[in-house]
Amino acid sequence: MLRTAASQSRALTAAAAIAAFLVAAAAASAQEATESKQAARIEAFKASVIGGVEARRKLAQVMNDTVFSFGELAYQEFETSKYLTAVLEKNGFTVERGVAGIPTAWVARWGSGQPVIALGSDIDCLPKASQKPGVAYREPLIEGAPGHGEGHNSGQAVNIVAALAVKELMEREHLPGTLMIWPGVAEELLGAKAYFVRAGLFKNVDAVLFSHVDNEFAISWGQPKGSGLISVEYTFEGESSHAAAAPWRGRNALRAVELMNIGWDFRREQLRPDQRSHYVITNGGDQPNVIPPLASVWYFFRELDFENIKKNYEIGNKIAEAAAMMTDTKVTRKVVGVAAPRHFNKPIAEAVQANITRVGLPQWTDEEQAFAKAVQRLVDGKEIGLNTKVKEIEVPQARPESGGSDDIGDVSWVVPTVTIRYPANIPNLPGHNWSNAIAMATPIAHKGIIAGSKVVATTLIDLLERPELVKEAKTYFTDVQLKDNKTLPLLAATDQPQIGINRETMERFRPQMRAYYYDAERYDTYLDQLGVKFPTLARTPAP
Ligand SMILES: [Zn+2]
């Protein structure tokens, strides 16, 4: 039987289709094989770096407790930076100091080639938050001294331990890539990250993993709860005179401050409810019988987006000018810090979430839970103890919610960035308070750091081994984040880091604080050095 041309061609097509199918199937199974091989490799690498973090528990505890004991205020993190850079240099990192004109800022690098991954975490502490760790009652180590009332003593331990575990693997497996470690200097003043960005610190960086202490194990993408801000100090200059004999000869700078504050407070009613603004009078004159020739007031203007931050800043400037006019004084202003509203990268956040789920929360002991509840009771926080469940990934809210700020926002607009919040503190504390320091040199912090470090290390593996993740992160950054949002510069070209802030306070307390620096050679833990039995739930009554 003769085949017709049509049936012949059908047969050929069918044969070709079968052949094509076989080729495709072979290719697919080859691809599947490659993919499963790659998945197994990533899995093995993650297991290896988790082991590497475990092996560095002691180093993490020593770094955490040491930085806790330094308790240094914004811009004065000299001991902290000296210590951390020494640890990094000892481990093969190259350190560049004095970054962006800030004496306590530095960047440490190791490795070569792409990708370049930057790990950041804050290092400064808070005024008057000195507190003995591990005891569920108020007891400053030194009355009035600064202390880690936010837990910024823990983040570099998280990052450095993760980096060392990953470095060890990269050396063994000859993996290309550059690790960069940097400190959030003066975060409590929103004082450094915008200057780091301006100095080009994040040029050629592919991703930033930022770590921040929390009581939850959590990650978010998009705009999280919170605000951005401009922090600015206004100084009014008048003329002194005898406040009783010749008050009419003076021009009262304190009155200008008061008028500015009254003006701003009256104006609040016409501002968006999302704004947050607050001020402290940093100089109110010298003594009542001298008409104050100089007075200063320090404002934070917070809002949800760049435009509204700038708008409120301009209103503040206008009110300051008006107060100066009313009092025949002169006003100058000095920007103390800025923080852009934050925006976190979706693909990286999703990778982090998978690693958080894998690592899980630390296993807290009954004693640690009892301690957490005792501290919560102490500050009238709800007595829920320590968190035991991993959170779902946090997605952007339909309507952004106002709150605090963090200058990691500035970094998040120049490079794909996420903030990994690791569970190293007790929930339901007031924040920016001595009670937030209580757990920060105890097993609660030590365990939380290890959990956080494992997530940083495993996410580093994702970024090193999955080039498509770095690409997706960039695509989200350019095609979603930068496309849908309008950014405005918050720093003027003339603004400079206010590195002199806190110098006098730190100089006043440092000699006393030195006696409390952690000596890791002599004592296993800082609690041992202080003679604290953990957990101490109540003050021992005097005999
Ligand atoms: Zn912080």
Please report the pLDDT score of residue 72 as a whole number: 98
pLDDT average, residue stretch 171-185: 98
Query: Which token pair is 260?
Result: 């500015």
* Statement: residue 333 has pLDDT above 90: yes
Model confidence pLDDT, tens digit, residues 24-52: 778 878 888 888 999 999 999 999 999 99
For ligand 1, the distance from its centroid to the CA atom of residue 511, given in whole angstroms, is 26
* Statement: residue 501 has pLDDT above 90: yes
For ligand 1, the distance from its centroid to the CA atom of residue 9, given in whole angstroms, is 72
Please report the pLDDT score of residue 24 as a whole number: 79
pLDDT average, residue stretch 214-238: 97
For ligand 1, the distance from its centroid to the CA atom of residue 429, given in whole angstroms, is 14
For ligand 1, the distance from its centroid to the CA atom of residue 149, given in whole angstroms, is 10
For ligand 1, the distance from its centroid to the CA atom of residue 369, given in whole angstroms, is 24
**Cα–Cα distance between 348 and 245 in angstroms, integer?**
68
CA distances from 343 to 46, 122, 426 (A): 27, 18, 26
For ligand 1, the distance from its centroid to the CA atom of residue 496, given in whole angstroms, is 22
For ligand 1, the distance from its centroid to the CA atom of residue 182, given in whole angstroms, is 15
For ligand 1, the distance from its centroid to the CA atom of residue 150, given in whole angstroms, is 6
* Statement: residue 5 has pLDDT above 70: no
Model confidence pLDDT, tens digit, residues 399-410: 989 999 999 999
Q: Of 20-24, 76-80, 142-146, 355-359, which range is least confident?
A: 20-24
For ligand 1, the distance from its centroid to the CA atom of residue 247, given in whole angstroms, is 46
For ligand 1, the distance from its centroid to the CA atom of residue 69, given in whole angstroms, is 17
For ligand 1, the distance from its centroid to the CA atom of residue 396, given in whole angstroms, is 21
pLDDT average, residue stretch 516-534: 98
Please answer whether residues 152 and 214 qualify as being in contact, where contact means their C-beta atoms are separated by less than 8 angstroms. Answer: no
CA distances from 134 to 60, 70, 444 (A): 18, 17, 10
Compute the mean pLDDT over every residue in the chain, rounded to the nearest whole number. 96
For ligand 1, the distance from its centroid to the CA atom of residue 169, given in whole angstroms, is 30
Q: How confident is the model at residue 1 (pLDDT cuts 50, 70, 90)?
A: very low
**Cα–Cα distance between 78 and 60 in angstroms, integer?**
20
**Cα–Cα distance between 157 and 67 in angstroms, integer?**
9
Please report the pLDDT score of residue 3 as a whole number: 53
Please report the pLDDT score of residue 212 as a whole number: 98
Please answer whether residues 146 and 509 qualify as being in contact, where contact means their C-beta atoms are separated by less than 8 angstroms. Answer: yes
For ligand 1, the distance from its centroid to the CA atom of residue 122, given in whole angstroms, is 6
Q: How confident is the model at residue 540 (pLDDT cuts 50, 70, 90)?
A: confident
**Cα–Cα distance between 495 and 501 in angstroms, integer?**
15
* Statement: residue 460 has pLDDT above 80: yes
For ligand 1, the distance from its centroid to the CA atom of residue 407, given in whole angstroms, is 9
Secondary structure letter of residue 108 according to DSSP: E
Model confidence pLDDT, tens digit, residues 411-447: 999 999 999 999 999 999 999 999 999 999 999 999 9
Q: Which residues have C-beta under 5 Å from ligand 1, the single-atom ion?
A: 122, 150
Model confidence pLDDT, tens digit, residues 306-317: 999 999 999 999
For ligand 1, the distance from its centroid to the CA atom of residue 27, given in whole angstroms, is 50
Please report the pLDDT score of residue 456 as a whole number: 99
**Cα–Cα distance between 77 and 312 in angstroms, integer?**
32
pLDDT average, residue stretch 111-120: 98
Please report the pLDDT score of residue 403 as a whole number: 94
Q: How confident is the model at residue 7 (pLDDT cuts 50, 70, 90)?
A: low
Please report the pLDDT score of residue 9 as a whole number: 65
- If you count them, how many residues does the chain have? 543
DSSP, residue by residue, 16-75: HHHHHHHHHHHHHHHHHHHHHHHHHHHHHHHHHHHHHHHTTHHHHHHHHHHHHHH--BTT
Strand, helix or coil for residue 317: helix
For ligand 1, the distance from its centroid to the CA atom of residue 6, given in whole angstroms, is 75
Question: Of the candidates 514, 513, 502, 526, which has an alpha carbon nearest to the alpha carbon of residue 126?
Answer: 502
AA letter at 55: A
For ligand 1, the distance from its centroid to the CA atom of residue 255, given in whole angstroms, is 35
Helix, strand, coil share of the chain (percent; to 5): 45, 15, 40
Percent of the chain with pLDDT over 90: 92
Burial of 422-438, coded b for 16+ CB within 10 Å and e otherwise, reads bbbbbbbbeeebbbbbb
pLDDT average, residue stretch 157-161: 98
Backbone angles phi, psi at 228, to 5 degrees: -115, 175
For ligand 1, the distance from its centroid to the CA atom of residue 188, given in whole angstroms, is 7
Alpha-carbon torsion angle 260, 266, 269, 273, nearest 10: 30
